[in-house]
Structure 1
């Protein structure tokens, strides 16, 4: 199954809903960063939710999510945009723990329970929109739920699951975001709370091969859900050798000369996708 997001409304437009199949995105992130199981799950959950947040944007809008806890993986940084493109990395990808007491990957231990999560949105305006909240869980989904309620004042339920095979490869990944729209009455909110409380763990639905449409149908029922749109999503990085050329030029003439004389060239690695770009002495001289 390819990766895609479904956008929908429920209860006569009083609820906004998103669901995603993100297995291939998480597989590609793991491949590029050689991330171990627990780190892959933490990064994968953040990629999954950030991709759905990108689907809330329009045109050329984009956003950056940074989760910086006190756990051993350090910071998780993810970019996404309205075109269905997402990329990301974790500072220390080589983190893995035994399963926790619930038999799940111990993402909380990897991320930490103290620190901050920030979302910076580029909406094409003069200033960026920036929201920052403390980490309340370290499980990622709960932290995004807290972000939406606190920073954007939108009551939300967020779920993301990443399943890892015994050989530590990615088996499946997916998630959902459910949001209460302004004007929703107490009856709708109570009904939604009841539905979510009875809803199976997102990881189990992903494991069973549920599509994004099936996830939303299971949550709301076919009579209550209105599917609006489907959008393909992928792990896509916009880095290029030209971008790194501009960065090297920005270092200044003295630094470039030092690279030529001491290293006889240079190499630069993109944090987001781990692509390596090489510059020969001749190429560096052309930048002077």
Structure 2
């Protein structure tokens, strides 16, 4: 499990979300057997997804983040709910690249920069909200911050970090979203940008044992920092045999008959947790009856 701190600073002019997500990213790495670069890309997106999920208003609201910049990772997909629990996958979990010119994992190159970032929010309305922006760098944090500015008109900075150990396990992961609320002094943005550049990377601080509270205090202790709550988050897949059955029934009777005649056996694998669901000939016949 991980956690997110919800806080404000500068007399409420700044909204803050600080996530520590090491265990969540490690769980995703194990499930999908991710390469180091894939771990960094999916881990950053999972962390951002947790924060964005907690910004949803309704208990049953959820959102999906999708990025495809034309890079070797293919699609990066993360789903989150209003409790901040997440699940996700990348199309090519073994895709990896050499370190970039700064000696860091080349997430931008793996994601690619020729495509779109899409955020879909299902808030129980007739149609979901869909926000879409061009990918700026493929580094995830910059791209989601750009989404907030363009689609939601909220000036934002998002620092995301995943530190992969030599044995490919996740040593540390976390994220910090800073948003300027309406009426805030524009100079605050410059101050925050300077401070974020001056401190070590978030993942390094977390690896050293710093808590989310300590990191927020490093940055905002002199700016009327107020931490309101600490929310537990986790990697949770809500797939089930019943949901898979409903998806198969939705294919329709003709398609199910075709599958039965071709193989007499259906095997479905969940993208998010890799769990496999199998249906024999008798079970397929039962699905066909339900689809009439």
Per the normalisation by structure 1, the TM-score is 0.95
Q: Which runs of 4+ in 1 moved over 6 A?
A: none
SS at match of 1:235: coil
Partner deviation per Cα, 1:99-141 (whole Å, 9 max, x = no partner):
2221211111101121110111112223322111111111111
Q: Which residue of 1 aligns with 2:52?
A: 53
The answer (yes or no) to whether the contact 1:161–1:206 under 8 Å persists in 2 is no
Partner deviation per Cα, 1:147-166 (whole Å, 9 max, x = no partner):
11111111111011111111
Q: Which residue of 2 aligns with 1:230?
A: 230
Q: CA shift at 1:167, angstroms?
A: 1.6
C-alpha separation in 1, matches of 2:286 and 2:145: 50
The answer to whether structure 1 residue 20 and structure 2 residue 24 are counterparts is no
C-alpha separation in 2, matches of 1:162 and 1:50: 14
Q: Which residue of 2 aligns with 1:86?
A: 86
C-alpha separation in 2, matches of 1:184 and 1:223: 13
The answer (yes or no) to whether the contact 2:49–2:84 under 8 Å persists in 1 is no
- Aligned alpha-carbon RMSD (Å): 1.5
Q: Which residue of 2 aligns with 1:4?
A: 3
Partner deviation per Cα, 1:155-199 (whole Å, 9 max, x = no partner):
111011111111212111111100001111234334323322323
C-alpha separation in 1, matches of 2:50 and 2:82: 9
- Distance change in 2, residues 1:186/1:287 (3 Å): closer
C-alpha separation in 2, matches of 1:133 and 1:49: 16
Q: Which residue of 1 aligns with 2:31?
A: 32
The answer (yes or no) to whether the contact 2:172–2:204 under 8 Å persists in 1 is no
- Distance change in 2, residues 1:226/1:39 (3 Å): same
In structure 1, stretches of 5+ residues that fail to align are none
The answer (yes or no) to whether the contact 2:25–2:173 under 8 Å persists in 1 is yes
Q: Which residue of 1 aligns with 2:266?
A: 266
Q: Which residue of 2 aligns with 1:115?
A: 115
The answer (yes or no) to whether the contact 1:56–1:82 under 8 Å persists in 2 is yes
C-alpha separation in 1, matches of 2:189 and 2:109: 32
SS at match of 2:71: coil
SS at match of 1:5: strand
C-alpha separation in 2, matches of 1:250 and 1:186: 52
**Residue pairs, 1:1-288, within 5 angstroms:** 2-58=1-57, 59-221=59-221, 224-288=224-288
Partner deviation per Cα, 1:6-38 (whole Å, 9 max, x = no partner):
000001100000011111111111111111110
- Distance change in 2, residues 1:189/1:260 (3 Å): closer
In structure 2, stretches of 5+ residues that fail to align are none
C-alpha separation in 2, matches of 1:191 and 1:171: 30
The answer (yes or no) to whether the contact 1:195–1:220 under 8 Å persists in 2 is no
C-alpha separation in 1, matches of 2:148 and 2:82: 18
The answer (yes or no) to whether the contact 2:137–2:143 under 8 Å persists in 1 is yes
SS at match of 1:96: coil
Q: CA shift at 1:98, angstroms?
A: 2.0
C-alpha separation in 1, matches of 2:169 and 2:134: 31
Q: CA shift at 1:56, angstroms?
A: 0.8
Q: CA shift at 1:273, angstroms?
A: 1.8
C-alpha separation in 2, matches of 1:84 and 1:197: 27
Q: CA shift at 1:238, angstroms?
A: 1.4
- Distance change in 2, residues 1:57/1:107 (3 Å): same
SS at match of 1:287: helix
SS at match of 1:286: helix
Per the normalisation by structure 2, the TM-score is 0.94
C-alpha separation in 2, matches of 1:257 and 1:193: 59
